[in-house]
């Protein structure tokens, strides 16, 4: 069908522009297609329906509109006529119960082909003939030409047209005094004068300052740049009683029901994300003038409602705040959302849009529908999470790339739970609203309980560790207990020397609860001494001979230890007033004293007596002693023996300094089972080759490591030699999945990842990582062990739901006694356990973790190391994982630094493989896997990562990042080289007004945004005679990457050469003649 007449060009409205721009960066996406379903009078036939459709198309210009980008602006072209094609589908045979689903599926199929926005009409219509004469007209339209309220307009008009025809009368339709395009012009020229717009944007800039770039709600999968619009939905119903209370609250407080419901949703989001600052996008109709009510067109605008709960308000107070915020937002709701976004981006210093086009921030939405029912979605989601309510029906739409359906279902359930509790007792502060119901609490209880046999339950006398070691020694006296260089200690020797030492100690006054300081390096002596101390009933206090003398003297004096065991006398300069010295070099040796039975054959200590005191420095720096009792230690060791299935054939390499509790793993488990401890001399520490030599020479079967050390072993390639090793024990730091995979490539054996602070006896959770495992981020820390009870609690001490981060609290037998010299600190950290037996305590670890759906724990880092970059909480571990997986990178650590380029931000320190200088490639590779807000501000190569004496990363020793500059760290910016690169750089310079563009500078970083990208594309396409898609310019690559992509286009001839464009349409009201047919 052809119509003669003019095509009129008008500027597009801001709303149309926003949608069009968003689509440019998502080629092929169907997220902006809208499905409208209209019931028609029964019996309406195809002709009648077509006539009705033709009439509304003639009436409403948006149904005859296409869009076109010209010279950096978007135009809408109103055509005099468009083909009105009405497809028809006969579903008469389908039973009524399935009809709705099939209508929905039909819409979905009609939506699948993307719209070419330059081709009118931007809709597809279909008539569905259902059983019993029922008729449905579906209209799948592009969002640029219609919105939700347009549905009501069209529904009324189509009905009326069909009825009028059936009754053979003229249709009664209101006269339209204006059309959508008129409004678009008015919007730009009158509704918002520059002065008014300026004022409005000032308001929004102030209101939204500091808005986090991404929402804090935890997702099931990381937010990578390729998160798409695929969506899912869950439906739910608000119980009548709750709905009545919502109405009651609204009436009592004289606010809208919107405010009450919004407040409940905001409170839930704040709790889930552990962030009191919550902002959401809320749609407003945008039809402020009465004449607009009857128009079809895209009027909807979005406003941002932001509430702050950091004062922990009651629910009532929060609702009042929400009501005020909503009112204020409406008053300033005329300014197009896109302008607000741009203003915020500029305030942030450009580059905040990201590859997804104008950031549809915030990524959480709320919509309260009035007068329209909830509609099923079509498999897309425009936000991470959108809560829609209509009456008592609710719908939660979510991005499937980020959330599982079960998680979305849980979020919906929690919303109802919060709404129920909040409306029941509105005085409850937001922090106390219940997220967890009784059945989930029961599940958390089960998760938090160790399922290992509880070895700590009743540790009978005679079954403490020293007794167990003696019992083993009696059974295998000739087996080798310790090897230390050339020294060989059999179990008989060990028992005799241990008992002899215990005798000396007892004579010196050692007994239960008496501390014995031990100043010995890792050695056979040390093993004997520990046994002797425990056999005498005393508590072992290890001192590190490598420490400065002053510190040793201070530790010794403050501990109150009365006895010091050392070899060859006390080091000169170490003051030990009032302390008895036991010198190992004066031990007469096995042959000298023939008397059997010298020294005790059982320890006088009981299960609740002290076993050892270790000093930790923690994050504050000042060392404090941690006291651990026998029952905790025995329980842990017995668990470890069982977990590793240790036996007499096991040989463990002792590599840990005696002052760290990981040393326990290398000492007791082997001695109670009759295996051998092979001591690695302190001089070999940090030398994987020498240590590997020992592993091979002595056929070590159990290898204990800390992740930082493991990284060195992996880098050295020595692990492959260690074929005798049958399992690895790891702990003390977060273990990345990447490092684990590197390990198993050289040494494919199980790895036990053990988590636990010193205060709770070595380890309280463990995970068995198999060589076939693939962990995307970090290896989990597993499940509670050794009788430990694990609770994840929020700041108010309430349990957090599965998946939500909380602070790790430990209860049960592994909990230590406390800090002997710091009672106040002990009272602060060891708190009453509301979930355990009366009078029991929980230790607050200061670590964050969350339960994974499979019941394992994921370690997230220290609470006080939590990092916020531009208002968004980030897990440096996530970034570390990405940096470590770069090609040529051996090790990496990511920290927040105040002195990062451009202000406080993430800095990645990495250890490149020899001969690697891949810095620019690294940035591009990271940009492909990390969202913008996680990209490090600088990448600093180091020859090695600094470590502490315990083998963990030494953050304080990391160097300042220095002048990393715009492109690479340190190097002078690389200039564009190839002809295409130079051309791209020139065009960018022209459009952006920025001189001296380097090869790796990115468009968005230099102040570019989507509209400027269109200008770039126009220029490039003209110059190169190839159609350059806009999304390539907005992608995260630099000049070089864009040039490469363009060259690829030319070579592949993937895009046909540009048609001869109508160069005439430049002015605001250009006119084209459309000829026949």
Partner 1 sequence: MTERTYTVVCNDEEQYALWDVDRVAPPGWHPVGFSGSRSACVAHVDRQWTDLRPRSARTSPDPGSDTGSDTATGPATGAGE
Would you say 513 or 1022 has its CB closer to partner 1? 513
Residue 559 in the binding site for partner 1 (CB under 8 A) = yes
**Spatial contact of 789 and 810, defined as CB atoms under 8 Å apart:** yes
Q: Which of 381, 366, 350, 367 is nearest to 227 (CA)?
A: 381
Distance CA 449, CA 264 (A): 32
Round to whole Å and give the CA distance between 1032 and 1045. Answer: 8
Residues 741-800 that bind partner 1 (CB under 8 A): 796-797
Closer of 583 and 986 to partner 1 (Cβ): 583
Four-point Cα dihedral 582, 586, 590, 591, nearest 10 = -150
Q: Please, are residues 731 and 754 in contact by the beta-carbon 8 Å criterion?
A: yes
**305 and 257 in contact (C-beta within 8 Å)?**
no
Q: Shortest distance, CB of residue 824 to partner 1, whole angstroms?
A: 4
Pick the closer one to partner 1 by CB: 301 or 449.
449
Identify the sign of the CA torsion 982, 985, 990, 996. negative
Give yes or no for residue 676 binding partner 1 (CB under 8 A): no
From residue 274 to residue 313, the character string flagging contacts with partner 1 as x (rule: CB under 8 A) and all else as - is ------------------------------------xxx-
Cα separation, 814 vs 788, in Å, equals: 6
> Is 127 within 8 Å of 86 (Cβ atoms)?
yes
**Min CB(838)–partner 1 separation in Å:** 3
**Which one of 86, 831, 872, 1074 is in contact with partner 1 (CB under 8 A)?**
831
Nearer to partner 1, 190 or 796 (CB): 796
**Which strands, in side-by-side order, build the sheet including 135-142?**
33-40, 135-142, 123-130, 86-91
CB of 662 to partner 1, least distance (A): 24
Residues 575-594 that bind partner 1 (CB under 8 A): 575-583, 586
Burial of 301 (0-12, 13-18, 19+ CB in 10 A): buried
- In the complex, least distance from residue 837 CB atom to partner 1, rounded to whole angstroms: 7
From residue 483, alpha-carbon distances to 522, 540, 658, 699, 967 in Å are 11, 22, 16, 12, 54
Q: Cβ closer to partner 1: 209 or 311? A: 311
Interaction residues for partner 1, span 475-514 (CB under 8 A): 504, 507-509, 511-514
- Pairing mode, if any, of strands 385-390 and 364-368? parallel
What is the smallest separation between the CB atom of 570 and partner 1, expressed in angstroms? 5
Q: Is 394 exposed, middle or buried (0-12, 13-18, 19+ CB in 10 A)?
A: buried
Determine if the peptide bond prior to 362 is cis (ω within 30°): yes
Residue 471 is a binding residue for partner 1 (CB under 8 A) = no
DSSP type of residue 188: I
Min dist CB 832 to partner 1, Å, is: 5
Between 979-992 and 1010-1024, two packed helices, what is the crossing angle to 10 degrees?
A: 140
> What character string, x for contact with partner 1 (CB under 8 A) and - otherwise, covers 791-830?
-----xx-------------------xxxxxxxxxxxx-x
Binding residue (CB under 8 A) for partner 1 from 833, 858, 875, 878: 833
Residue list 603-622, contact with partner 1 (CB under 8 A): 606, 608-609
Separation CA 859–CA 875 (nearest Å): 11
Name the residue nearer to partner 1 (CB basis): 139 or 627. Answer: 627
Residues 838-857 that bind partner 1 (CB under 8 A): 838-841
* CB nearer partner 1, residue 589 or residue 1057: 589
CB of 560 to partner 1, least distance (A): 5
- Only one of the segments 157-165, 570-578, 705-713, 806-814 lies at the binding site for partner 1 (rule: CB under 8 A); that segment is 570-578
| Residue 627 interacts with partner 1 (CB under 8 A): yes or no | yes
From the CB of 820, what's the least distance to partner 1, in Å? Answer: 5
In the three-class reduction of DSSP (H, G, I as helix; E, B as strand; rest coil), residue 201 is classed as helix
Asked if 1056 touches partner 1 (CB under 8 A), the answer is no
- For the bound state, the minimum distance from the C-beta of residue 31 to partner 1, rounded and expressed in Å, comes to 40
Burial 954-988 (b: 16+ CB within 10 A, else e): eeeebeebeebeebbbeeeebebeeebbbbbbebb
Shortest Å distance, C-beta 797 to partner 1 = 7
Q: How far is the CB of 796 from partner 1 (least distance, A)?
A: 8
Residue 899 interacts with partner 1 (CB under 8 A): yes or no: no
Cα–Cα distance, 264 to 270 (Å, whole number): 10
Residue burial 1031-1069, b: 16+ Cβ < 10 Å; e: rest = bbbbbbbbbbbbbbbbbebeeeeeeeeeeeeeeebeeee
257 binds partner 1 (CB under 8 A): no
CB of 889 to partner 1, least distance (A): 40
837 binds partner 1 (CB under 8 A): yes
Rounded least distance, CB 562 to partner 1, Å: 4
Tell me which residues touch partner 1 (CB under 8 A): 310-312, 504, 507-509, 511-515, 559-563, 569-570, 575-583, 586, 606, 608-609, 627, 629, 796-797, 817-828, 830-834, 837-841
């Amino acid at each position: 069908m052809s119509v003669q007449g003019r095509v009129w060009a008008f500027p597009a409205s801001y709303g149309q522009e926003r949608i069009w721009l968003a689509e440019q960066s998502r080629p092929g996406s169907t997220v902006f297609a809208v499905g409208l379903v209209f019931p028609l009078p029964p019996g309406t036939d195809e002709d009648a329906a077509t006539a009705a459709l033709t009439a509304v198309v003639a009436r409403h210009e948006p149904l005859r509109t296409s869009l076109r980008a010209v010279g950096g602006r978007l135009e809408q072209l109103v055509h005099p006529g468009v083909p009105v094609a009405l497809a028809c589908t006969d579903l008469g045979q389908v039973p009524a119960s399935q009809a709705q689903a099939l209508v929905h599926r039909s819409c979905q199929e009609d939506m699948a082909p993307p719209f070419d926005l330059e081709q009118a009409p931007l809709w597809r219509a279909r008539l569905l003939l259902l059983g019993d004469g029922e008729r449905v007209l579906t209209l799948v339209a592009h969002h640029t030409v219609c919105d939700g309220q347009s549905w009501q307009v069209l529904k009324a008009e189509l009905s009326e047209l069909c009825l009028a025809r059936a009754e053979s009368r003229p249709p009664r339709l209101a006269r339209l005094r204006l059309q959508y395009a008129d409004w678009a012009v008015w919007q730009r020229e009158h509704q918002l004068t520059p002065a008014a717009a300026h004022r409005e944007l000032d308001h929004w800039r102030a209101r939204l300052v500091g808005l986090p770039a991404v929402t804090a709600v935890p997702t099931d999968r990381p937010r990578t740049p390729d998160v798409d619009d695929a969506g899912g939905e869950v439906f739910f119903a608000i119980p009548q009683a709750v709905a009545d209370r919502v109405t009651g609250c609204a009436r009592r407080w004289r606010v809208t029901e919107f405010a009450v419901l919004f407040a409940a949703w905001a409170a839930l989001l704040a709790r889930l994300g552990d962030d009191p600052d919550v902002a959401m996008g809320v749609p407003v109709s945008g039809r402020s003038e009465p004449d607009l009510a009857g128009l079809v067109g895209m009027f909807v605008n979005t406003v941002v409602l932001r509430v702050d709960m950091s004062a922990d308000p009651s629910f009532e107070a929060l609702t009042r705040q929400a009501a005020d915020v909503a009112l204020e937002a409406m008053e300033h709701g005329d300014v197009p959302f896109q302008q607000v976004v741009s203003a915020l981006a500029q305030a942030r210093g450009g580059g905040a849009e990201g590859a997804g086009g104008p950031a549809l921030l915030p990524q959480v939405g709320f919509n309260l529908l009035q007068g329209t029912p909830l509609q099923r979605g079509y498999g897309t989601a425009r936000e991470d999470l959108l809560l829609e309510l209509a009456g008592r029906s609710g719908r939660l739409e979510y991005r499937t790339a980020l959330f599982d359906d079960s998680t979305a279902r849980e979020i919906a359930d929690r919303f109802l739970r919060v709404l129920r509790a909040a409306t029941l007792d509105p005085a409850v502060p937001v922090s106390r609203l219940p997220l967890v119901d009784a059945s989930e609490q029961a599940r958390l209880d089960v998760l938090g309980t160790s399922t290992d046999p509880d070895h700590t339950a009743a540790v009978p006398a005679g079954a403490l560790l020293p007794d167990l070691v003696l019992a083993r020694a009696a059974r295998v006296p000739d087996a080798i207990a310790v090897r230390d260089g050339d020294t060989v200690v059999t179990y008989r020797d060990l028992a005799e020397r241990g008992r002899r030492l215990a005798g000396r100690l007892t004579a010196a006054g050692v007994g239960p609860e008496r501390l014995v300081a031990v100043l010995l390096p890792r050695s056979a002596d040390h093993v004997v001494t520990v046994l002797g101390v425990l056999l005498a009933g005393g508590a072992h206090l290890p001192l590190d001979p490598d420490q400065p003398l002053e510190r040793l003297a201070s530790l010794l004096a403050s501990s109150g230890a009365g006895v010091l065991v050392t070899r060859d006398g006390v080091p000169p300069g170490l003051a030990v007033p009032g302390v008895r010295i036991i010198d190992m070099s004066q031990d007469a040796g096995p042959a000298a004293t023939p008397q059997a039975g010298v020294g005790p054959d059982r320890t006088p200590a009981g299960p609740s007596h002290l076993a050892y005191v270790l000093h930790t420095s923690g994050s504050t720096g000042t060392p404090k002693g941690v006291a651990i009792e026998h029952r905790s230690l025995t329980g842990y060791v017995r668990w470890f023996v069982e977990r590793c299935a240790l036996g007499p054939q096991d040989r463990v390499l002792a590599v840990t300094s005696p002052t760290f509790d990981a040393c326990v793993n290398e000492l007791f488990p082997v001695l109670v089972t009759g295996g051998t401890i092979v001591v690695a001399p302190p001089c070999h520490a940090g030398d994987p080759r020498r240590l590997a030599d020992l592993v091979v020479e002595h056929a070590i079967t159990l290898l204990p490591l800390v992740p930082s050390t493991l990284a060195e072993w992996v880098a050295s390639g020595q692990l492959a030699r260690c074929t005798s090793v049958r399992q690895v024990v790891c702990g003390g730091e977060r273990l990345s999945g990447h490092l684990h995979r590197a390990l198993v490539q050289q040494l494919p054996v199980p790895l036990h990842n053990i988590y636990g602070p010193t205060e709770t006896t070595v380890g309280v959770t463990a995970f068995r990582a198999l060589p076939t495992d693939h962990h995307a981020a970090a290896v989990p820390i597993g499940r509670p062990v050794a009788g430990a009870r694990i609770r994840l609690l929020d700041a108010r001490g309430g349990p957090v739901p599965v998946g939500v981060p909380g602070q790790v609290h430990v209860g049960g037998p592994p909990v230590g006694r406390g800090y002997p010299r710091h009672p106040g600190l002990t009272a602060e950290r060891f708190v009453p356990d509301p979930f355990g037996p009366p009078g029991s305590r929980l230790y607050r670890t200061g670590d964050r973790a969350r339960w994974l759906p499979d019941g394992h724990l994921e370690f997230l880092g220290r609470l006080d190391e939590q990092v916020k970059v531009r208002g968004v909480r980030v897990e440096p571990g996530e970034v570390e994982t990405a940096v470590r997986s770069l090609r040529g990178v051996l090790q990496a650590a990511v920290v927040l630094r105040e002195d990062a380029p451009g202000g406080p931000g993430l800095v990645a320190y990495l250890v490149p493989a020899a001969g690697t200088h891949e810095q620019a490639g690294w940035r591009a590779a990271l940009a492909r896997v990390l969202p913008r807000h996680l990209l490090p501000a600088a990448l600093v190569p180091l020859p090695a990562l600094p470590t502490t004496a315990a083998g963990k990363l030494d953050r304080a020793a990391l160097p300042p990042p220095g002048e990393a500059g715009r492109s690479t760290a340190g190097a002078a910016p690389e200039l564009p080289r190839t002809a295409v690169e130079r051309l791209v750089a020139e065009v960018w310079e022209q459009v952006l007004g920025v001189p001296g563009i380097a090869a790796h500078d990115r468009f968005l970083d230099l102040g570019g945004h989507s509209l400027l990208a269109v200008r770039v594309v126009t220029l490039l396409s003209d110059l190169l005679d190839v159609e350059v898609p806009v999304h390539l310019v907005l992608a995260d690559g630099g000049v070089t990457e864009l040039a490469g992509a363009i060259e690829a286009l030319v070579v592949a001839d993937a895009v046909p050469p540009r048609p001869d464009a109508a160069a005439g349409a430049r002015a605001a009201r250009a006119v084209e003649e459309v000829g026949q047919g």
